[in-house]
Amino acid sequence: MKPLQRLFLVLVMLILAACSSSPQNQSPPLVVDTGIDPNRWSLIPAGEFLYGQHEEEVNIEYDYEMMVTHVTNAQFATFLNLALADGAIKWGEDGLVGYYPGDVFDGYDHEREIKAGDWLLFPVGDPDVRIVEQNGVFAASPGYEDHPAIMVTWFGARAFCAYYGWRLPTEREWEKAARGVDGRAFPWGDEIAKNNANFYNSRDPFEPNGGLGDTTPVGFYNGKQYAGYQTQNSPSPYGLYDMAGNVWQWTADDYKDTHLRYLRGGSRGDYDYNLRVWTRNSASPDYYSITVGFRCARG
Partner 1 sequence: MQAIKQRYQFLFGSTKGLVLVAIAMISLETVFFGMLSGPMAELGIREPWVRLTGMQLHPAEREGRIIMLYHTIAMAVVAIEVYFITALVKMKREQQTNINAMVTVGYLVSMIFGMWFAYFGRNFIYHGLFIFGQSLVFFAGVMLAAALWPWNKAYYVRDTAYAHTRSGLDLERLAFFVMTVATLGSSIFGAVAGANFGNGFEVFLAEDVVREPHKSPLDLAVIGHLHIMLTLIAVALALIIGRWVDFKGRLHKWAMPAMIIGTVIVTLGVWAVVPFESIAHIIINVGSVFMLGASFLLIAFTWRQQIRLGLAKRGVSRAEAGFGQKLAALLHDPLPFGATWQMLFMNFVVTAVGVYMAINLDDVIREWPWREERITLTGHWHILAGIIGTIILLYYGDLAGLKGRVRQWFGWTIIIASDIAFAAVTLFSTKRLFVRESAQQPLVNWTMWLTDAGLFLVLVVLGALMAWRLIDLFKARGRWREEMAESTLQSLVKEVEP
How far is it, in rounded angstroms, from Cα 152 to Cα 120? 9
Please state the closest distance from residue 252 (CB atom) to partner 1, in A: 17
For partner 1, the closer CB: 20 or 135: 20
Q: Tell me the three state secondary structure of residue 110.
A: coil
Please state the closest distance from residue 266 (CB atom) to partner 1, in A: 9
For partner 1, the closer CB: 218 or 260: 260
Please state the closest distance from residue 164 (CB atom) to partner 1, in A: 27
CB 235 within 8 A of CB 224: no
CB-count exposure of residue 62 (10 Å: 0-12, 13-18, 19+): exposed
Contacts 24+ apart (CB under 8 A), 53-59: 53/276, 53/278, 55/183, 58/172, 58/176
For partner 1, the closer CB: 98 or 269: 269
The contact set with partner 1 (CB under 8 A) reads: 11, 14-15, 17-24, 53-55, 108-112, 127-128, 185-186, 190, 192, 201, 209-212, 248, 255-258, 260, 263, 269-274, 276, 280-284, 287, 289-292
For partner 1, the closer CB: 139 or 212: 212
Please state the closest distance from residue 151 (CB atom) to partner 1, in A: 10
How far is it, in rounded angstroms, from Cα 188 to Cα 266? 15
For partner 1, the closer CB: 152 or 192: 192
For partner 1, the closer CB: 11 or 46: 11
How many residues are given for the chain?
299
Q: Which of 253, 238, 268, 291 is nearest to 69 (CA)?
A: 238
Q: What are phi and psi of 179, to 5 degrees?
A: -120, -5
How far is it, in rounded angstroms, from Cα 50 to Cα 60? 11
Please state the closest distance from residue 122 (CB atom) to partner 1, in A: 16
Q: What are phi and psi of 297, to 5 degrees?
A: -130, 165
Please state the closest distance from residue 259 (CB atom) to partner 1, in A: 10
Q: Which of 229, 246, 83, 241 is nearest to 162 (CA)?
A: 83
For partner 1, the closer CB: 37 or 55: 55
Please state the closest distance from residue 222 (CB atom) to partner 1, in A: 22
